[in-house]
Amino acid sequence: MTATADVLVITPHPDDAEFEAGGTIAEMTNAGRQIVYVVCTNGDKGTSDRNLKPEDLAALREKEQQAAARILGVKETIFLRYPDQELEDTREFRKEIVRLIRLYKPELMMTADPYRRYIYHRDHRITGQVCLDAAYPYARDHLAFSDLLAEDLQPHKVKEILFWGAETNNHLSNITDSFYKKIEALQCHESQLGMYPAEHLEEWLKERARQLAAKENYELAEAFYRVIIGH
């Protein structure tokens, strides 16, 4: 296997990565880091339009995600196409993430925080937990999903994970120079944002980013909970 990536971004739905980490992703690709997206669900329930069929919405959101990824300089986008709101912490899902970790061998993973309490989308919680388990210990241990060895998918040790959407954060990313690239990528998701004036979205996200960077020597930030994996 020759596929590699510095960073594996595993997002529950189309648009989550851009909302939570779009500026950081743009900064990374601008610095030459190779990033691969893994989109877990097809987003087929994310609409209030009763005339839009789920299969049509899923196809539309896939195109939107591909467009957003191109703007951010993402190397490749993989769609797992699980139904929206139906992710479960299953052996099949864990194995799929382990397979991708062993294939791409990322140093860093980015995904949704699994431990946010109360009002939180279940798909986000499940994605974060499965990714954490897949990175440690499953992807590391050769006897975990040992049939992957027959595909020459050898064990791999992920060094760190950045969780977005956490209740508490211990890591900030300076997105002052990439904020408008984040906005440009988000605007690709017209099925989700088309009803909101573009200037309102920009104003809201900029204020949020300013608050996160309030104690820093730069203007705008994205926030994560960073976990260093000790093997």
Q: Tell me, what CATH number does 179's domain have?
A: 3.40.50.10320
Structural domain span for residue 44: 7-228
At residue 86, the 3 state secondary structure works out as: coil
Residue 100 CB-half CA count within 13 A: 27
Beta-bridge mates of residue 35? 7
46 inside domain: yes
Q: How many CB atoms lie within 10 A of CB 13?
A: 27
Kindly state whether residue 131 falls inside one of the protein's structural domains: yes
Q: 10 Å Cβ neighbour count for 79? A: 17
Q: What is the model's pTM?
A: 0.96
User: Which pLDDT does position 209 carry in this prediction?
Assistant: 98
Q: What is the pLDDT of residue 145?
A: 98
For the chain, residues with pLDDT lower than 50 are: 1
Tell me the residue ranges of DSSP E strands in the chain.
7-11, 35-41, 76-82, 108-112, 160-164, 171-174, 221-228
In a domain, 216, yes or no: yes
Helix 91-104 / helix 122-133 crossing angle, nearest 10 deg: 60
Is residue 212 in some structural domain? yes
Report how far residue 187's alpha carbon sits from residue 179's, in angstroms, rounded to the nearest whole number.
13
Amino acid present at 122: R
**Number of domains composing the chain:** 1
In a domain, 27, yes or no: yes
Bond prior to 137 in cis (omega within 30° of 0) = yes
Per-residue model confidence (pLDDT) at position 13: 98
What's residue 2's pLDDT?
57
